[in-house]
Amino acid sequence: MTGGSVPTVDEIVKAGTPVPDRRRKPRLTKRAAPYGLAFPAMFWLGFFFLIPIIWMFVVSLNSGTLETGFRFSWNWANYTNGLTIFKTQYLRALLYAGVGTFGALVIAYPIAYWIAFYGGKRKSTYLFLILLPFFVSFIIRTIQWQFILADNGIVLGTLKSLHLLPQSFHILSTQWAVMGGLMYNFLPFTALPLYVALERIEPSLLEAGKDLYANKVTTFLKVVWPLSLPGVFAAFLLTFIPMMGDFVNAELLGGPSNRMIGNIIVTQFQNTYYPQMSALSFVLMAGLLIAAVLYAKFLGTEDVFEAAGRG
Amino acid sequence: MSKGAAREHVASQKWTRFILPVYYWLVVAYLCSPIVVMIAFGFNNVPGRVNAKWYGLTLNWYRDLFSSPGLTRALLTTLLLATMATVISTVIGAFLGLAMGRHRFVGAALVGFVMFLAISSPEIVDGSSQLVWYVRLSKVSIGPIHPFALGFPTILWSHVMFCIAFVAITVRARVAGLDGSLEEAAQDLFATPVKTFTKVTLPLIMPGVMAGALLAFALSIDDFVISSFVRGHTVTFPIWVYGSAKVGIPPQVNVMGTLLFVGGLSAAAVSAVLPKFSQWRAGKRLERERLERATAAAAG
């Protein structure tokens, strides 16, 4: 056979295969691009977020005062003393954050459910209304609660004048005010990850449940709830530990007997007892680290990013 | 199932389907109640400083908005701070968002986890750790400038820190939804990387960048906890308000809160409408060009 004959199968395949193009090969600049793009941000996060936390751990093992200078001395007493002296405040923070998180989850879940499945075209508008409080400083909002819940304010004053409540009744300066404030302030943070998880569930799965003669409750318990659990965990992560570290609600809405560990950390800060402050604060960070590593390992970081991006 | 039972079933469904919407609006009312009170009491004709009872309508506090020098200075500090933090964090964060959304690279998972930590860490931990770090660095100086002496600069560094993560995530979400072939086309047409970026990539990710910038601005304006640790003697708006909470906040705070609220809503509305508007305009232009071509063809 000479040239000009019918091409063989091999030749056809070869012709169909794209010729390796030099220009398309990732060049060095292109491969280096992501590192260049990420570098400034990673430098900033490293220098102003990660290193400070590591340094705080070092300071938490220091002894001394601001005047005499701090010395590194493996002073674990900051932890043992901190956890024994302020045990009540840690436990109180656990309790308040637990109740606050639970309350926020219970209130937010039906909301997220309704927007995700019944929101239709207006989904983003409904979600936006839930985020409306973010447009007002949370300090101002908490002070407004102080005002709304005042002993003779618009709510309690009215109820008292109608003799529906005894004159001595009060909410401010009780643990209920603090838990309520925590729940209020973190509610949108709870709703967002729940919505992200619920919105991803195919409505056809609910149809399938119906077709199989499951009633609404069974469909919810067997289909929706298990599929929404990642959102519940994300909401927990974004709510519980930040709530534990909060001090504003206890300060503005609570009384002297409602002080949480956050208030103690602030007091230590104001007295410049930095090693003790660092130890108390690092305990919270350790709690977050454990929760975050577990969460990221099992569920990945995507859902939290999606929720945060909508905030 | 008998006919009657079926009808009853439908009726009960009709009734129950109102539960969730009604509940939703009740929760929205609950979430907004402090905002309503804030706005209303900015119009309260209160005689003294303590704004705790309704006395009647007035616009005095809008007129005397800047009559408290400390409060005015705090607001200006916050606005300057938020503007600077937004500009810096938007540039840095957008680059990171681009890297995470467009490229696969070694260490991407680590970068993701660091951002994840930055978003979920309690503010009190950020505040206290950055405080001890700045105290450690307080002696560092560049000429006469001490960049880590507690005060305005340290608040700025910290605000940029937490804004970066949120900007990056917002931009990344936008980048991930884009078609990479447009940039490849630009490169095939021998555009330099810089030109490809400014002429193709940047316009495409702009809505994400704008959304990220807005988020950064809002976060910076609102920050109280971190600022209270690293502020030195600088007073921001939330710090001033918190400090005066014990003695009663003056009505000007309500007015400023109201104006910030309205401003924030307007900015959000503009950023939501703007992409749609430019899309609409581009569509119109395309339509006009097509029409002109058709007319020309018909005339020729």
Q: How far is B34 from chain A (nearest CA, A)?
A: 5
Whose CA is closest to B158, among B57, B260, B259, B81? B81
Interface membership of B253 toward A (CB under 8 Å)? yes
Best residue of B9, B22, B25, B31 to probe chain A, by most A CBs closer than 10 Å: B31
Looking at residue B282, what is its pLDDT?
Answer: 79
Pick from B38, B100, B123: CB nearest A136? B38
- For residue A2, what pLDDT band results from cuts at 50, 70 and 90? very low
Interface membership of A147 toward B (CB under 8 Å)? yes
Q: How many CA atoms lie within 13 A of A204 on its CB side?
A: 0
Whose CA is closest to A261, among B50, B128, B23? B128
- The span from the CA of B195 to the CA of B186, in Å, is 9
The secondary element (H helix, E strand) that includes residue A245 is none
- For residue A15, what pLDDT band results from cuts at 50, 70 and 90? low
The string of pLDDT tens digits covering residues A232-255 is 999 998 899 899 999 999 999 999
- The span from the CA of B216 to the CA of B209, in Å, is 10
The string of pLDDT tens digits covering residues A218-234 is 888 988 999 999 999 99
* pLDDT at residue A109 is higher than 80: yes
Q: Considering only CB atoms, which chain B residues are within 8 Å of A153?
A: 52
Mark yes or no for CB contact B116/A148 under 8 Å.
no
3-state secondary structure of A164: coil
Looking at residue A1, what is its pLDDT?
Answer: 41
Mark yes or no for CB contact B160/A48 under 8 Å.
yes
Per-residue pLDDT of chain B (300 residues; tens, 9 = 90+): 444 444 444 445 677 788 999 999 999 999 999 999 999 999 988 877 666 678 888 898 899 889 888 999 999 999 999 999 999 999 999 999 999 988 888 888 889 899 989 998 999 999 999 999 999 999 898 988 999 999 999 999 999 999 999 999 999 988 887 777 887 888 788 888 788 888 888 888 888 899 899 999 999 999 999 999 999 999 999 999 999 988 888 899 999 999 999 999 999 888 888 777 777 887 888 888 888 888 888 876
- For residue A11, what pLDDT band results from cuts at 50, 70 and 90? low
Mark yes or no for CB contact B132/A38 under 8 Å.
no
Best residue of A21, A30, A37 to probe chain B, by most B CBs closer than 10 Å: A37
Q: Considering only CB atoms, which chain A residues are within 8 Å of B273?
A: none
Q: What is the DSSP string of B90-112?
A: HHHHHHHHHHHHH---TTHHHHH
Q: What is the ipTM score, two decimals?
A: 0.85
**Domain boundaries defined on chain A:** 22-60, 77-310
Which residues, other chains included, contact A188 with Cβ-Cβ below 8 Å and sequence gap of 6+? A130, A131, A133, A134, A311, B31
Best residue of A45, A243, A272 to probe chain B, by most B CBs closer than 10 Å: A45
Interface membership of A143 toward B (CB under 8 Å)? yes
Radius of gyration of chain A, Cα coordinates, nearest whole angstrom = 28
**CA closest to A22 among chain B residues:** B188
The string of pLDDT tens digits covering residues A284-307 is 999 999 999 999 888 888 888 888
Which residues, other chains included, contact B89 with Cβ-Cβ below 8 Å and sequence gap of 6+? B159, B160, B163, B164, B167, B216
- For residue A165, what pLDDT band results from cuts at 50, 70 and 90? confident
The third-level CATH classification (topology) of the domain covering A77-310 is MetI-like fold (1.10.3720)
Provide mean pLDDT across the span A79-107: 96
- The span from the CA of A300 to the CA of A290, in Å, is 14
pTM: 0.87
Pick from B132, B170, B238: CB nearest A278? B132
User: Could you tell me if B220 and B163 are in contact, meaning their C-beta atoms sit under 8 angstroms apart?
Assistant: yes
**CA closest to B102 among chain A residues:** A34
Helices A87-118 and A123-130: crossing angle in degrees, nearest 10, is 160
- CA dihedral (A195, A199, A203, A205) positive or negative: negative
Mark yes or no for CB contact A143/B245 under 8 Å.
yes
Looking at residue B17, what is its pLDDT?
Answer: 82
Provide mean pLDDT across the span A141-146: 94
Mark yes or no for CB contact B122/A245 under 8 Å.
yes
**Interfacial A residues in 221-250 facing B (CB < 8 Å):** 237-238, 241-242, 244-248
Q: Considering only CB atoms, which chain A residues are within 8 Å of B188?
A: 23
Q: What is the DSSP string of chain B?
A: --HHHHHHHHHHHHHHTTHHHHHHHHHHHHHHHHHHHHHHHTTB--SSS---S---B--HHHHTTT--HHHHHHHHHHHHHHHHHHHHHHHHHHHHHHHHHH---TTHHHHHHHHHHHHHS-HHHHHHHHHHHHHHHTT--BTTB-TTSTTHHHHHHHHHHHHHHHHHHHHHHHHHTS-THHHHHHHHTT--HHHHIIIIIHHHHHHHHHHHHHHHHHHHHH--HHHHHH-TT---HHHHHHHHTTT---HHHHHHHHHHHHHHHHHHHHHHHHHHHHHHHHHHHHHHHHHHHHHHHHH-
Mark yes or no for CB contact B124/A247 under 8 Å.
yes
**CA closest to A264 among chain B residues:** B124
- Residue A156 falls in which region: left (phi positive, over 0), alpha (psi -120 to 50) or beta: alpha
**Interfacial B residues in 73-102 facing A (CB < 8 Å):** 92-93, 95-96, 98-100, 102
- The span from the CA of B21 to the CA of B36, in Å, is 21
Which DSSP symbol is given to A17?
Answer: S
User: Could you tell me if A201 and A116 are in contact, meaning their C-beta atoms sit under 8 angstroms apart?
Assistant: yes
**Interfacial B residues in 1-20 facing A (CB < 8 Å):** 20
Looking at residue B13, what is its pLDDT?
Answer: 62
Q: How far is A220 from chain B (nearest CA, A)?
A: 15
The count of CB pairs under 8 A between chains A and B is: 263
Mark yes or no for CB contact B38/A38 under 8 Å.
no
Looking at residue B235, what is its pLDDT?
Answer: 97
* pLDDT at residue A13 is higher than 60: no
The string of pLDDT tens digits covering residues A267-288 is 999 999 999 999 999 999 999 9
Could you tell me which residue, A69 or A187, shows the higher pLDDT?
A: A187
Beta bridge partners of A71: A63
Instruction: Give CA torsion, residues A112, A118, A123, A128, to 10 deg.
Output: -40
